[in-house]
Structure 1
Amino acid sequence: MYIKKILIAASVVGLLVLGGVSIYIYNVIFSPNTAFESETQSLYISTGSTLQDVVNQIHPYIQDTDDFITVAKKKGYASNVKSGHFVIKKGMNNNEIINTLRSRNIPIKVSFNNQHRLENLAGRVAEQVEADSLELLSAMVSPSFLDSLEVSALESLKYYIPNTYEFYWDTSGKEFRDRMVRYYHEFWNESRRKKAEKANLSPFEVMSLAAIVQKETAKVEERPRVAGVYLNRLKRGIKLQADPTVIFAIQNQNQDFETPIKRVLYKDLELDSPYNTYKYKGVPPGLIAMPDLSSIKAVLNAESHDYLYFAADVENPGYHKFAKTLAQHNRNARAYQNWVNKQKIYR
């Protein structure tokens, strides 16, 4: 009888211990372990991070770090930390948090507008993804990459069409670059190619001309009319004579793209550069800037008219006066030159 009581007592103690352990394990794994008030919290885990790196980052957002580490090790996460952008939800337990960090890398939105050069683009994108500007730029100007596409660094600007895209935060420079090339080819679908052919332009020439339109006017509604002027000049074999191409030629020659040039001088028109459209006919051999969608669409859907010239409209800042004859244009141009002189803008 005595032994029986001992056995019963031992069994009860064992059950209590087992129950206590079970409750502890349950609490560690399945009890809510978040410590933020918002509905969600984003975590950005860098490539090559260790469990300790993750702990350092997640610490402000969970109640019990030790329990998190325990579950992470039990589930094998410590030896298989994933990089990327992860979103944990309010009230998640350790099991759910670890599962999220292991397999739910959520894409982010990456946006960029018309950038002047690849260096500017790399800097803008680096603000939004893990890769830094040096890694991005190195990938963009990689000789093997440019050779595979048979383009120069300047010509490669066409592949980066300003827009908003979905990327994984831990996208590498090469992955970003290659994805943009794929998007470029998707952008140039049959419909857009037919429009380019109708204008007697290649996709590259459309992009190059769109870059000039982009620089000529900031008014989106005016861009189809400006594009129409340039298409009319191309059809008639007239030089484009676009001031932004001269400005680019000067900056490219001096390798100084930071100093603004507000006025093109007559001596500048003699600069011997393939980008100087006062000296050479046709579309420049590269993009002077990165055109946005509105400028590309303006060239593909240019306004049909007989204008061959335009000059800044001093009475309507930001817009231009368009002319069909040189005499009319000269009057418009003189009005602009007089205004510039009054403003004492000499360069």
Structure 2
Amino acid sequence: MKKVIGYSFLLLCLVALFFAWKFLGSATAFNESKKYLYIYTGNANQKAVMQSLKDSGFLKNPGLFEMVAARLDVWKRLRPGKYEIEKGSSLLTLARKLRNGSQTPVNLVITKLRTRKDLAALIGRKFETDSATMFAYLINNDSLQKFGLDTNTVMTSVFPNSYSLLWNSGPQRIFRKLHEQRTKFWTAERKQKAAALGLTPEQVHTMASIVEEETLRNDEKPTIASVYLNRLKKNMNLGADPTVKFAIGDFTIKRLLFGHINSTASSPYNTYRNKGLPPGPICTPSETTIDAVLNAASTDYLFFCAKPNGNGYHAFASNETDHFKNAKAYQQWLDSLNIR
């Protein structure tokens, strides 16, 4: 009798170990360190998820997972999102992750963008929402009104930074996250500095976008900003090459010609033909560049031109005679390089 009890106990232990191995041991069937399961809005159901698991080859035994998920009420609590599955994860770990909606955040990294379409395309590659839906949001004044923005100034809420969001976040939630950075940046002190310049935060951002396109040298950004501020004070055209390139839609142009300026004469972004700042930014300037505008140098410069050595710095002038000399030296340097 004791032997029978002993064998029965041993059998139960073996069965328990078997199921523990099945449920708590490695259940993944891929070689990568991790893979992602995407559950789309409208497809957060048992059939769609099981089909995705089978098609992707995530698990060794999808059928057993389906049983575990049912026992843990996963299907009743399933939510759309992006879920990370690490190599060696157990069925129980995955089931709990889906049941608890433990999504893996998406890291949206914004560096330099130039247009609303650029932003929409980036978001469309990173999130469930597609670029067309995001772009429609960015050109809808009704959507932007709550943020105090319009379709021209919308990009003044886009700062180069890294933003953590859930994959299934919609356009409004994504944009609200971006706008939070703008709100954080524009402190009372910075707003006071903008007002002292006679500019709104949106106008400062727009000017900074021009400065951003003019130079990569942080140490000369306050000086370039001073040139544009001086021109505004004198009611001169800004005459900024990058704004014409923006109007054309081609930032690869190395040498701006009169043909480029004339062909975009009707564009409000052509600052050779229109006085004042353009209606919105031409790129997403860094916070450093925005601060360079807010803390612009005190100069009498009205002109600047790239130096003929390719080091990225500029020669500044307070009168046309000196500027033409600088410009001629630069044009001759371009000619020597056969840049047309």
| TM-score relative to the length of structure 2 | 0.83
Match of 2:57 among 46, 56, 59: 59
Query: Match of 1:86, as an amino acid?
Result: Y
Match of 1:77 among 74, 80, 92: 74
Give 1:313 shift. 0.8
User: 1:283 & 1:21 partners in 2: Cα distance?
Assistant: 76
Secondary structure of 1:338's aligned partner: helix
Alignment of 1:38-49 (within 5 A): 41-47=34-40, 48-49=43-44
Q: Is the 8 A contact 1:51 1:78 kept in 2?
A: no
Return 214-223 or 268-277, whichever deviates more: 268-277
Match for residue 256 of structure 2?
Answer: 264
Match for residue 107 of structure 2?
Answer: 109
Return 318-327 or 138-147, whichever deviates more: 138-147
Secondary structure of 2:66's aligned partner: helix
Give 1:149 shift. 4.7
Return 229-238 or 311-320, whichever deviates more: 229-238
- Residues 168-218 of structure 1 show CA distances to partners (whole Å, capped at 9, x for unaligned) of 122223321232223322221223212222322210011110111122123
Match of 1:333 among 317, 327, 333: 327
Give 1:244 shift. 1.8
How high is the sequence identity, in percent, across the aligned residues? 30
Match for residue 27 of structure 2?
Answer: 33
Q: Is the 8 A contact 1:311 1:333 kept in 2?
A: yes
Match for residue 271 of structure 2?
Answer: 277
User: 1:189 & 1:140 partners in 2: Cα distance?
Assistant: 25
Secondary structure of 2:126's aligned partner: coil
Query: Match of 1:339, as an amino acid?
Result: W
- Is 1:181 matched up with 2:173? no
User: 2:24 & 2:253 partners in 1: Cα distance?
Assistant: 64
Structure 1 unmatched ranges of 5 or more: 252-256
User: 1:286 & 1:175 partners in 2: Cα distance?
Assistant: 23
Return 321-330 or 200-209, whichever deviates more: 321-330
Q: Is the 8 A contact 1:140 1:174 kept in 2?
A: no
- Is 1:95 matched up with 2:88? no
Q: Is the 8 A contact 2:163 2:178 kept in 1?
A: no
Give 1:337 shift. 2.6
User: 1:258 & 1:307 partners in 2: Cα distance?
Assistant: 28
User: 1:301 & 1:318 partners in 2: Cα distance?
Assistant: 21
Match of 1:290 among 276, 280, 284: 284
Match for residue 166 of structure 2?
Answer: 168
User: 1:53 & 1:142 partners in 2: Cα distance?
Assistant: 37
Match for residue 209 of structure 1?
Answer: 207
Match of 1:310 among 298, 304, 319: 304
- CA separation of 1:58 and 1:77: change in aligned 2, threshold 3 A: farther
- Residues 64-90 of structure 1 show CA distances to partners (whole Å, capped at 9, x for unaligned) of 333322211211223443333333445
Query: Match of 1:241, as an amino acid?
Result: G
Secondary structure of 1:289's aligned partner: coil
Secondary structure of 1:52's aligned partner: helix
Q: Is the 8 A contact 2:123 2:131 kept in 1?
A: yes
User: 1:231 & 1:51 partners in 2: Cα distance?
Assistant: 58
Query: Match of 1:191, as an amino acid?
Result: E
Secondary structure of 1:164's aligned partner: strand
User: 1:58 & 1:96 partners in 2: Cα distance?
Assistant: 18
Secondary structure of 1:127's aligned partner: helix
Match for residue 239 of structure 2?
Answer: 241
Return 321-330 or 176-185, whichever deviates more: 176-185
Aligned residue pairs total: 332
- CA separation of 1:18 and 1:293: change in aligned 2, threshold 3 A: same
Give 1:9 shift. 11
- Residues 260-308 of structure 1 show CA distances to partners (whole Å, capped at 9, x for unaligned) of 4433334655624433323333222222233233322221232333322
Q: Is the 8 A contact 1:44 1:83 kept in 2?
A: no
Query: Match of 1:201, as an amino acid?
Result: L
User: 2:289 & 2:223 partners in 1: Cα distance?
Assistant: 11
Secondary structure of 2:208's aligned partner: helix
Q: Is the 8 A contact 2:114 2:283 kept in 1?
A: yes
Match for residue 192 of structure 2?
Answer: 194
Structure 2 unmatched ranges of 5 or more: none
Match of 1:68 among 39, 48, 65: 65
Aligned Cα RMSD in Å?
A: 3.2
Secondary structure of 1:153's aligned partner: coil
Give 1:344 shift. 4.8
Q: Is the 8 A contact 1:111 1:125 kept in 2?
A: no
Q: Is the 8 A contact 1:206 1:296 kept in 2?
A: yes
Return 115-124 or 299-308, whichever deviates more: 299-308
Give 1:336 shift. 1.9
